[in-house]
Structure 1
């Protein structure tokens, strides 16, 4: 019985390849990586395989460190508020780093 379904494996793989990308995937957060991902999927569909693109370059940027000892006294008095404040500061810092990369 399993052999009846094996003929559909390649079609299922092709379907899954495009279901993984939602409508507006690139438009929501345009980036080089998203464009490349869609192009590679299209190449795989049209040519049967995607061409090797050679080495890829990754960019890593680390922001300024946050010394949590500076917040300890405030944390002892107002734990929840301090955690929320630090979380907001870190989230803002990460968003700024991501925006600067784009």
Structure 2
């Protein structure tokens, strides 16, 4: 059976608060994940996630675009087997 067309993108950006353990949770889209590695990649500071927000958009191809205030880059991920897999960063 094929159900088409199907649209999986999010119509607007989600701005998510990073909790004290480095996680974000988006209940509307049922997604949560740890952001520590992302903030460390961008800042080289293991505690840089504290008090921050993450900007997240998902397009129809399944790519997740992530950035945060003061980031110089936008990071692109794909969901694979319960992991967000890094694909590319651009600025």
TM-score w.r.t. length of structure 2: 0.21
Name which structure has the greater RCO, CA cutoff 8 Å, separation 6+.
2
Q: Which has the higher strand share?
A: 2
Structure with higher Rg: it is 1
TM-score w.r.t. length of structure 1: 0.20
